[in-house]
Structure 1
Amino acid sequence: MCGLVGFLAGDHWREAGKAAAVLTRMADTIVSRGPDDAGVWADGSGVGLAHRRLSILDLSAAGHQPMTGPSGRHVIVFNGEIYNHLDLRRELEQSGRAPIWRGHSDTETLLAGFAAWGVRATVERCIGMFAFAVWDTQTRVLTLGRDRLGEKPLYYGWQGAGDEACFLFGSELKALRAHPCCAADVDRDALCLLMRHNYIPAPHSIYRGISKLPAGCLLTVSLDRREPSVEVYWSLADVAVSGNHAPFTGSDQEATDALEDLLKSAVRRQMLADVPLGAFLSGGIDSSTVVALMQAQSARPVKTFSIGFHEPGYNEAEHALAVARHLGTEHTELYVTAEQARDVIPRLPDLYSEPFADASQIPTFLVSQLARQHVTVSLSGDAGDELFAGYGRYVRNSRHWERIARLPRGLRALAAGGIRTLSPEI
């Protein structure tokens, strides 16, 4: 992953030297996101961009950020990967709208798309996980964008007052906190959301006045129009409605084949990298499927990584090892002691931008730390349960609802009213 930070401000912050110093300080807080390269851009126009790079595609200086488009109109900082960016390049070339390419990074492809099609039309063509900020030197408008499912984080918000007010944005909250304007006041309403959901859902954040850009959205803001405008460019609800209107009509076998083709294509695109690549393997259905598809499309054994526990009730390493042996991967595992897990706890505020109650946050860090010793990029089976309804509660809830739905509507309303009268403490 990479990291981006920046701000849009008035006269007080326009001095290039002052802006560059603040941007450097902000970017230095997220060096762990991008240890390979760093860059700062500030031209006195009121906007400043900074970047920390983890090199994955185009390891040369041609992939350095902040990156300016060929015409000089757009300047971008980008975090993520556009898996179909080579397809976009071909589309640009076939239409005669491609620039003379300086390298083969997906960031350069994005800039070329912005120049040819505009920001929204380009993003709608993109398949990937990403967050970006792009400054249009012609319209003097800043645009922030986030991928369809919100895999890459992006925080933003106005802080400070008067001439010193700044619109801050970045990949992590600690980068925003490094700016002198950031008050970092805890939002008590967000704490309530944390208690309810075990995390703080978008668009909220733990800090008052700072928001998360929702998934599948673009935001525009300028010094002339300070109220951010957020527009949805992709909606999961719209996709679901479209699917209901035009359902798949093939046989079960045809559906299975179509799904396998989609999964193969998705995994193949995510294996595009100029650095060593591997995968997290728990031995469950999701990660095992991803690794199997990787190995089927790889000329050498895939590097896989697992975390094990000495407590039998929590240990999945044995299942992962069996899958690794079956697929012929190059497998590495780490059995975690209680002491190793406890040692991570003091680091959690620095590792994660805001509090959340995911029980997997410690083992996720440990397996990532293990994998980083061998590879730069790792695929995983995360979100498989959500995508394929793999959690048991989905089945149980469906069964419960089928039973409840048989009751008359009036009786259901009466029962619901009775439940609401009870105290949650009972």
Structure 2
Amino acid sequence: MCGLTGFWNGRGAGGETLRDQAESMSRQLTHRGPDDSGLWCDEAVGIVLAQRRLSILDLSDAGHQPMHSAGGRYVIAFNGEIYNHLQLRERLAAESAAPAWRGHSDTETVVACFVAWGIERTLQRCVGMFAFAVWDRQERTLVLARDRMGEKPLYYGWCSDTFLFGSELKALKAHPAFSADIDRNALALFLRHDCVPAPYAIYRGIFKLRPGHVLRMPIDAPRDGQPRPYWRYNDVVSKGLGDPLVCSDTEAADALEKQLGASISAQMLSDVPLGAFLSGGIDSSTVVALMQAVSRRSVKTFTIGFEEDGYDEAAHAAAVARHLGTEHTELYVRSADAIDVIPRLPFIFCEPFSDCSQIPTFLVSQLTRREVSVALSGDGGDELFGGYNRYLTARTTWKRMLHLPKFARQAMAGALRTISPAAWDSLVEHAEPLLPKRWRMSTPGDKAHKLAEVLLQPNGHAFFLNVASQWKDPESMVIGAREPSTLLTDADTWPSTGNLAQWMMAMDAQSYLPDDILVKVDRAAMANSLETRVPMLDHRVVELAWRLPLHQKIRHGQGKWLLRQVLYRHVPKALVERPKMGFGVPLDSWLRGPLRDWAETLLDEKRLRQESYFDPIPIRQKWEEHLSGRRNWQHALWTVLMFQAWLEASRRSSP
């Protein structure tokens, strides 16, 4: 895990100037690579590569970057890990294409593969998470690439006649050519999604390279280069559904355990201490169970707990850890400790980001980094195996709603809305002892009001966009904005599944997962110089998951059915079976309590009008309803607050 950055300047400049500019960019990424730094410059071409290193494999100088291939054709700045790099070395040897190895880093393996097979064939053969920039001296071409699922970030764009790229926006901003013009269209997307989805970024002219894409930029015609895919998620969906795995439940569980176990074993390769996040839920418990099954020593596991009811999973994680025999570390966090993280968020994420689980993710990463440099995570299980409640809703509630006339759905929605979320919560709390276990849920009031919104949607696609949106009409909220097309609104990019639940899973895996969850984990972990690995996103696990029929993912009103069967082989069912809980914080009460003055300052109507990004009227309305307790608008308000805090921080850090 590292950070990379660089630029190409066709005007040509003195080598000292180029190096000074690159050094300034590289320093912004020190948190991503505190162990080493390197810089390479070709003055004649005007291109510079810089890299910050977090040493994980080959801690010697042989792993130093930017790294040259044996013959000098390729120069690479690399971020990530190639889990099958030892197998790739064996393949090179079998083809008599292996160089005289200088060390045992995966980066050295990658550039050797470039020499033997070319860049795109190498991408097809790599198993890993990565983003890289490579200069091909022979073809005079700069190549940027990103891993299949989007675990590692890569920004790029033209600022005047300078092409900038880097792992985080803060590196690009350090170059004197950078222009920090906020893209109001991207801001509208942020209000809808909690994040700015790829390929967009918050600044005009800057983009994120999409997962599974490569960008080739020949210096002779640099602006002709356009990103193109080397791997398509929709192709995996189509191939998997067209060639389903026909076998018994036991055989399917065997296949899943074998592939997931192999992926986890490969991702445990490290020259530094390694551990895992453990929440006690299905995904993280499965990853830890399979880690412990192949480990000769107790796996180090980490979790944080909160004192507030409904937000604490630490006791569940501890029970799983005791059963598996892990070396478990837990830390109970006070609300004040979590709130103290908030001022750091604009600098950690460097563009607006408002998934409030960013706070506990940062805290558990901070705890984990005290003992290890690498942590495995259970992310990806929901999207691959049908874990989100909205997939169950699509199979049950939405299917039933289709048979109701429009006036009946409108009447039901009105009835649900007549009771406030707080009143719903109270009613369900009193009735909970009488309810079947599968009907119990957290935040029932918010879910009742979300159901009311769902009842008013015309079709399943509109239903999905509704549940994926914090603000339903962000274009009307952002002054002067036109909301751009995205995967969620461009039907030409949609996967063909023939089933709404599967369609939603495929959409989430290409939007919510890379744009929100993986961004959150990468930035929160890297702010603590911690590498995270996500074994469920090994593309071979993804491909197997799409061959599994839906009834082995969602069964008896429960998601992740097959993944649970794998877990039950290692952990008693009673330890992990409970209602799904998000990794969140009591944001609603914080906004009415300790964060109220801070939020009031950022949401001041006069301030909003002066800054002229937002229409203040709907924001103030939601703020007043939230303070009164009539509604819980925590997520919508947090989106605005995170932009306001980011905007304020950006102005303070501007030269």
Q: TM-score range by the shorter chain?
A: over 0.9
2:425 matches 1:383: no
Q: Are positions 1:307 and 2:304 aligned together?
A: yes
TM-score, with length taken from structure 1: 0.94
**Contact persistence 2:154–2:209 (CA under 8 A):** yes
Instruction: Provide the residue aligned with 1:140 in structure 2.
Output: 140
- C-alpha root-mean-square deviation of aligned residues, in Å? 2.1
Residues of 2 paired with 1:383 and 1:139: CA distance? Answer: 38
Does 2:214 match 1:215? Answer: no
1:186 aligned partner: 182
Relative distance call for 1:126 and 1:408 in structure 2 (3 A) is farther
Number of residues of Structure 1 aligned to a counterpart in Structure 2 = 416
Q: 1:406 deviation in Å?
A: 5.0
Pairwise CA distance, 1:68: 0.3
Task: Tell me the residue number matched to 1:243.
Answer: 240
Which position in structure 2 is the counterpart of 1:28?
Answer: 27
Instruction: Report the counterpart of residue 276 of structure 1 in structure 2.
Output: 273
1:222 positional shift: 2.8
Give yes or no for contact 1:303–1:329 (8 Å, CA) kept in 2: yes
More strand by share: 1
The 10-residue stretch of structure 1 (395-404 or 103-112) with the greater mean CA deviation from structure 2: 395-404
Aligned to 2:94: 94
* SS, match of residue 278 in structure 1: strand
Shift, 1:88, TM fit: 0.8
Q: C-alpha separation between the residues in 2 aligned to 1:196 and 1:247? A: 35
Distance in 2 between the 1:54 and 1:134 partners? 19
Greater shift in the superposed pair: 37-46 or 394-403: 394-403
Task: Answer with 59-68 or 376-385: which moved more.
Answer: 376-385
Cα distance in 1 for residues equivalent to 2:327 and 2:314: 14
**Greater relative contact order (CA < 8 Å, ≥ 6 in sequence):** 2
- SS of the counterpart of 1:260? helix
User: 1:404 Cα deviation (Å)?
Assistant: 4.5
Q: Which moved more, 1:383-392 or 1:135-144?
A: 383-392
Deviation at 1:226, TM superposition (A): 2.2
Cα distance change, pair 120–343 in 1 and its aligned pair in 2 (3 A) = same
Between the aligned partners of 2:128 and 2:219, the Cα distance in structure 1 is: 30
Counterpart AA for 1:197: H
> Is the Cα contact below 8 Å between 1:9 and 1:223 reproduced in 2?
no
Q: Does 1:297 align with 2:330?
A: no
Q: Is 2:198–2:209's contact at 8 Å kept on the other side of the alignment? A: yes
Q: Which deviates more, 148-157 or 393-402?
A: 393-402
- Secondary structure of 1:27 counterpart: helix
> Does the 8 Å CA contact 2:85/2:106 hold for their aligned counterparts?
yes
**Aligned residue for 1:321?**
318
Letter in 1 for 2:35: D
* Runs of at least 5 residues in structure 1 that lack an aligned partner in the other structure: none
* Residues 55-114 of structure 1, C-alpha deviations (whole Å, 9 max, x = no match): 000000000000000010000000000111111111110010111111111101110111
What's the secondary structure of 2:131's corresponding residue? strand
1:416 pairs with 2:413: no
TM-score, normalising length: structure 2: 0.62
Q: CA deviation at 1:385?
A: 1.2
Post-superposition shift, 1:331?
0.7
Selected match of 2:333 from 332, 336, 357: 336
In structure 2, distance between residues paired with 1:114 and 1:297:
33
Distance 2:118 2:405 in 1: 53
Matched to 1:90, the amino acid is E
Equivalent position of 1:16 in the other structure? 15
User: How far does the alpha carbon of each residue in 1:200-253 deviate from its partner, in whole angstroms, 9 at most, with x for none?
Assistant: 110000111000000000001133222232110111100110112211122211
Matched residue, 1:177: 173
Identity of aligned residues (%): 59
* Counterpart residue number, 2:117: 117
**In 2: Cα distance, 1:114 partner to 1:147 partner:** 16
Q: Select between 28-37 and 377-386 the one with higher mean Cα deviation.
A: 377-386
Secondary structure of 2:134's aligned partner: strand
Deviation at 1:11, TM superposition (A): 2.7
Q: How many Å apart are 1:373 and its aligned residue?
A: 0.7
Verify the 8 A CA contact 2:110 2:122 in the aligned structure 1: yes
Instruction: Give the whole-Å Cα distance in 1 for the aligned partners of 2:242 and 2:303.
Output: 42
Report the 3-state secondary structure (helix = DSSP H, G, I; strand = E; otherwise coil) of the residue aligned with 1:370.
helix
Aligned to 2:128: 128
Whole-angstrom distance in 2 between the partners of 1:16 and 1:42: 7
CA contact (8 A) 2:142 2:219 kept: no
Is the contact between residue 78 and residue 131 of structure 1 (CA under 8 Å) also seen in structure 2? yes
The offset of 1:174, in angstroms, is 0.2
Q: Secondary structure at the match of 1:416?
A: coil
Q: Aligned partners of 1:184, 1:41: CA distance in 2, in Å?
A: 26
Unmatched runs of 5 consecutive residues or more in structure 2? 410-455, 464-471, 474-617, 619-655
Aligned residue number for residue 54 of structure 2: 54
Q: Give the helix-richer structure, 1 or 2.
A: 2
SS at match of 2:70: coil
